[in-house]
Structure 1
Amino acid sequence: MPVTPLTPLKTAAPEEEGLKRLRWLGYFLDNAIRVPVVGYRIGYDAVIGLIPGVGDLVGFGLSMYIVVAAMRYRLPASTLLRMVLNVGLEALIGMVPLLGDLFDAAFKANVRNLSLLDAHLASRSQGSPQPSDFRFYAGLLLAVAALLALAGLLLFALLRALQALLGA
């Protein structure tokens, strides 16, 4: 079959494609926007976080996607725990209006997590395999799902309370 400009080239392994997507998402969330004059970069995670309630929940979900996708690369439990703590800290402090958004722009949990993933992949390529524990991964996924459900319930309760206060 002849290759045309519209023919997708399959040059990278599926693992590389997945890494490219994760790196793009991390860049999008933490470094996509260059602040003029200062030259500092912020991401859309900080911008989305400005939307009260929903913004922080969406940012948390996108950041956790990176962590869950990183599980495919058989990260050690300690690395996954650090990744979850990075996202959790950013989400927790991110709930504080304005101050949390500034912290979100400066902390860059997604870039930190991708650095942890890259360090693991570099050590793996040097021949030091890490053990994998299915029970740990399953427990971590359940904990993340529970946190997302709890955040959703809290948001729902907050919206109901606001509705009752405003008499709508």
Structure 2
Amino acid sequence: MKNMKFSLLAAFAMMLAVSSFTGCTDPCKDVTCVKGECVEGDCVCDTGYEGVDCGTALNAKFDGSFSMTAETCTNSGSISAPYAVTIAASSTDPSKIVFTGLYEEAGATANAVIATNGTDLTIARANYSNFNAEIAGTGTLSADKSTLTLTYTIYDSGNGNVLDVCTSTLTRQ
């Protein structure tokens, strides 16, 4: 009788041990996260990356040629014709982009940082252009990535006075 109880107890313990080990599966076993880590089967992306596998830099969707199709400025008025603006993804930081051509300054550049939501951006106040100015602003990329709305301010870098405030719509070319 003792042997039978011991055998039943041993068999039960064995079944419990086997079911415990086979019942646990790693939800991250077949998940590859390019720029992030797997948590409970889903990729949690590193800062500056997005996508199911965290393989897409945030700045990739901003990169390209745009046309300033609508712009109204408090001092210089509205644009008479669309003009070209280029947005380049930073090669060193996936959350940064560089604007070229805002305020109809063809060679002038402005750096921007993309927010963690992947659509909003901020241009921190910095030197801009060849006419002793600074620029600062904010913007939002549309869900379909075809337009960027942007509000920016041009300052006199000598005295800090506001020279112009522009509300703009850029359309992807």
The higher radius of gyration belongs to 2
Higher relative contact order (CA 8 A, sep 6+): 1
TM range (shorter): under 0.3
More strand by share: 2
Structure 1 length-normalised TM: 0.24
Structure 2 length-normalised TM: 0.23
